[in-house]
Structure 1
Amino acid sequence: MQEINYRVPSDLIAKNSTSMILSVQSSRFEQYGQIIDCLDVQDLLDKAAEITPIPEEGNLYIPSLKELEVFNAVEALAPYFEHQPIQVGFCNGKNQSMNGLEYHKSAEIIMAVTECVLFLCPFDHLQDFETVRTADAELFYLPKGAVVLIKANVLHLAPCMVDQSGFKTIILLPRDTNEPLDPEEIEKRDSSLKKEDRLLFKKNKWLLAHPERVQMVSQNVHVGLVGENRMVHPL
């Protein structure tokens, strides 16, 4: 296993002087998740680096990729998901902005194939399933090779790039997460009187959009982020 330096690069801090970027080794991260450093996942990281592309713009998320699901490390991570079936996919891109926040009612494991930054926000900052202040989110730096578990219900979305060339991450979630809802699930959601249900966008995915994120707003995602659509300035 390669030794990982979790320190936030000084040039990244300087480039983002108006935002505090924290290390995942910070005590602030403990409310959101934990570092997983007991497994050797280098073969899995190398495979993702080799076969997964970075799009020219935006992000590319593939929930499940068979080539990433055959590694022994995946089975070893099953206890973090209470031994539910797991899907292993990837999220790569050139994202720089918060754009929205989502949560799952399960853990999520993120492996940093390249370095990246995550916006994270506590669930109790979601006001009456209506709004979240973007200022309430905290920024965390994931160095290349880092593996972190994000707890259930933590508000987050796609990582942001640290380098202009983009970012690559491996994403582990319970199987079928982020897949389209069945017609019966859509009907149940649309007829529900529960405020939370209107945030259900895909399987195990509750989502709020920033009003500037036209792609989400046009898909009828609930507009709930209040404040600046915060950005990360890459190196």
Structure 2
Amino acid sequence: MKKVTDESFKKYGRILDLDTKEFVEVMMKKDTVMEGTVYKASDPDFEQLPLFTQLQKEVYGDVPIEFGYCNGRNNKLNAVEYHRCSEIDIAATDLILMLGCQQDINYANNTYETEKIEQFFIPAGTAVELYATTLHFAPSRENNEEFRCGIVLIKDTNLPLETKPTDATGENRLLFARNKWLICHSESKPAKNGGCIGLIGKNLEI
């Protein structure tokens, strides 16, 4: 595992100089998740914060965004996803991100080798931008403790698709939700929900 300050993180994203104290205080009042993970694309508690306006104007160039969260307990990779925009992750607790590069996907058969994944430790209070070509999924935490992570994306990302062709091929087969392309491991929950199974190798575990 590497620190987010490590030079190798630069191909995946960057640390943002943001005041996250107020966000962390609001996040820590959310209900505790005892098992699994909970994702909410848009949360009004966060979208009323000055940080929301700052992110929309300074990071996303004043296009509409959503500010939600992913909280829970997770210690496996399970899947990798990417978007056509950067994702901002704000750690309210210490957490670990498992990251890869979209360029390493084999689009001939929609597969990705899990041995290429790198793990990075993100300290509580840290905000990072993950570039659009960075593969990622739910955060993790050592000893399966609860993690809490703010998630900022272009508005409507991760919402259900209006229609999804049953005969999709190529990269279109990976489209799992709006602005969300997903490759999952055979052991994962998304695999049981129609996700494209294409992770080759171990389902990496913290």
TM over 0.5: yes
Distance of aligned partners of 1:182 and 1:89 in 2 relative to their CA distance in 1, 3 Å threshold: same
Residue number among 113, 118, 127 corresponding to 1:147 in the alignment: 127
1:23 counterpart = 2:3 = yes
Distance 2:40 2:72 in 1: 12
1:73 counterpart = 2:51 = yes
Q: Per-residue deviation at 1:161?
A: 1.3
Distance 2:61 2:114 in 1: 31
Which residue of the partner structure matches residue 122 of structure 1? 101
Q: After the TM superposition, which residues 23-172 of structure 1 pair with which residues of structure 2 at under 5 Å, given as runs?
A: 23-37=3-17, 39-50=18-29, 52-78=30-56, 79-128=58-107, 130-172=110-152
Which residue of the partner structure matches residue 210 of structure 1? 185
Q: CA RMSD in A?
A: 1.3
Q: Per-residue deviation at 1:83?
A: 1.8
8 Å Cα contact 1:54-1:167 kept in structure 2: no
8 Å Cα contact 1:87-1:175 kept in structure 2: yes
8 Å Cα contact 2:101-2:134 kept in structure 1: yes
Matched AA of 1:226: I
Identity of aligned residues (%): 32
SS at match of 1:212: coil
SS at match of 2:134: coil
Give unmatched runs, 5+ long, in structure 2: none
8 Å Cα contact 1:108-1:172 kept in structure 2: yes
| 1:51-108 deviation per Cα after TM superposition (whole angstroms, max 9, x unaligned) | x223221101111110111111111112322321111111011100000100011010
Distance 1:97 1:145 in 2: 23
Higher strand share: 2
Count of aligned positions = 204
Distance 2:179 2:26 in 1: 27
8 Å Cα contact 2:102-2:133 kept in structure 1: yes
TM-score between both structures, scaled by the size of structure 2: 0.95
SS at match of 2:103: helix
| 1:190-221 deviation per Cα after TM superposition (whole angstroms, max 9, x unaligned) | 4555x0011000000000110111x2112110
Distance 1:87 1:133 in 2: 31
Residue number among 168, 176, 182 corresponding to 1:201 in the alignment: 176
Distance of aligned partners of 1:163 and 1:84 in 2 relative to their CA distance in 1, 3 Å threshold: farther
8 Å Cα contact 1:94-1:161 kept in structure 2: yes
